Chains A and B, each alone.
Chain A
């Protein structure tokens, strides 16, 4: 990314502002006084150990779980709105575990997601030619990777102000992980993304900023590389040395730094 892009990202008003967000599930506080912003360009990673409330934070933003606090999308308050209205404002949501409709065909899954008058079918067909070939197949019979393509395609069909993407590489083979990362990088050229991701290689490759959660609270925000290169921060907030966190792929430089520390 050019420095110009970085500068505009810091200077332009954020696309998403979360202030003092609280959410509970079944009486348990899962998001606690969370505040952060997502710049209007590029990819911001939302990180944290398992169960710290990343998914809950995203669900609270779009009202899938009860929440309180301030949520601003493009300068407008949305925290009291119904989920479908928030989405219609221009939010693309790619849930953890894909959540394709298994008893609908691939084509039906995509048609259901079309919000715009002129949905970008052609773009989706180019990005995921495989889906076109399987348009009549029940989405429940697709492989995990193919289901993730459907889930991503549903979000990319429409013009959005922001994409909320929850662990898109979860459980995918390395080759597919690469493809998903490429797709996200491509999408990020036109739409900002808030990305939950466990694979730190992917985070390094894609993200410009990071927001780190622990126990339902924000414990770190900043530039992605600063965080990824700080083995102590990674150890403290993610509980791993940075090379094991990246699924044992070729050791990246933070691993060497970690060894040095």
Chain B
């Protein structure tokens, strides 16, 4: 039982990270049709700047941790806004070029991170409480799991509120469904594009700081490895669906943890199998729009 609970919370914590990356990916694809391979770089930059800031502040207390979240999110947001404004904006509707440019950007970013912070993982420290455990049904669950889960839930709630209750949220929902009709109502949809990139980058940057605490280190490859699973989550959840991304993130991560433990480390294989099954039997994803 305690193993089960531990696996569940570890999976939920990982799912939270997947969601923070997949949320932006899914909205960006849904609205603009852009497969953003640079999204992992937003996350890595967030992780490094958050860590750099915490290192300079020289303490591992909660205040520094919260500030590092803000800094990481801001760095991710700025990088994403820059990417949209300088590179993607010129390439709308040109999907092959978009893939090449974002893929190239992610490689260049990894090289830049290598040059700046080195290729070795940097081990990090958070508030001492993170490494403590909380007893749940006999399982000793590391506290950093809860931090990830709570942060992802807050981001999910904030995004839902933004999408449902604000005019820009409405423009984005409408744009995901029918972009050209939004422009035909006299709305400059490009502003929404920049905004979605910025929001997606902020979530990824935040996810980067959280991921560095979850895994205990930062490395230039951090974003790339999470990005692969975030893409799978996005496809399983249904491209463009935020709720779909949330459900799929949890499902994929928990499945992965259980398969790793009970099926001899086959977590990644099982996830790819799940992706194949979804593509076969429900190609639009769990909550994807049909047609």
Contacts and interface: CB of A to CB of B under 8 A. Distances in A.
Interface stretch (A110-118, A175-183, A222-230): A110-118
Interface in A34-71: 62, 64
A112 to B, nearest CB: 6
Nearest to A111: B170
Contacts of A99: 178, 181
Interface string A79-114: 000111001100001010001011110001001110
B220 to A, nearest CB: 39
Contact of B185 (A102, A103, A112): A112
B170 A62 contact: no
Query: Interface of chain B, helix or strand or loop or mixed?
Result: helix
Interface string B168-204: 0011011001101111111111000000000000000
State which size class the interface on A falls in.
Answer: 20 to 34
A217 interface: no
A112 B171 contact: yes
Contacts of A93: 184-185
A108 B175 CA distance: 13
B185 A82 contact: no
Nearest to B171: A112
Given A84-B186, A84-B188, A112-B187, A64 B174 contact: no
Classify chain B: how many residues form its interface, as a range. Answer: 10 to 19
Interface centre among B177, B184, B289 (most CB of A within 10 A): B184
A101 B173 contact: yes
A78 B207 CA distance: 45
B177 A95 contact: no
B174 A101 contact: yes
29 contacts: A64-B183, A82-B183, A82-B188, A83-B184, A84-B183, A84-B185, A84-B186, A84-B187, A84-B188, A84-B189, A87-B184, A87-B186, A93-B184, A95-B181, A99-B181, A101-B181, A103-B177, A103-B289, A104-B170, A104-B173, A104-B174, A108-B170, A108-B174, A111-B170, A112-B171, A112-B182, A112-B185, A113-B185, A115-B186
Given A104-B170, A111-B167, A154-B185, 12 more contacts: A82-B183, A82-B188, A83-B183, A83-B184, A84-B183, A84-B186, A84-B187, A87-B186, A99-B181, A101-B174, A103-B289, A108-B174
Interface of A: 62, 64, 82-84, 87-88, 93, 95, 99, 101-104, 108, 111-113, 115, 154
Question: What 4 A-B pairs have minimum CB-CB distances, sorted nearest first?
Answer: A87-B186, A83-B183, A88-B186, A101-B174
Interface of B: 167, 170-171, 173-174, 177-178, 180-189, 289
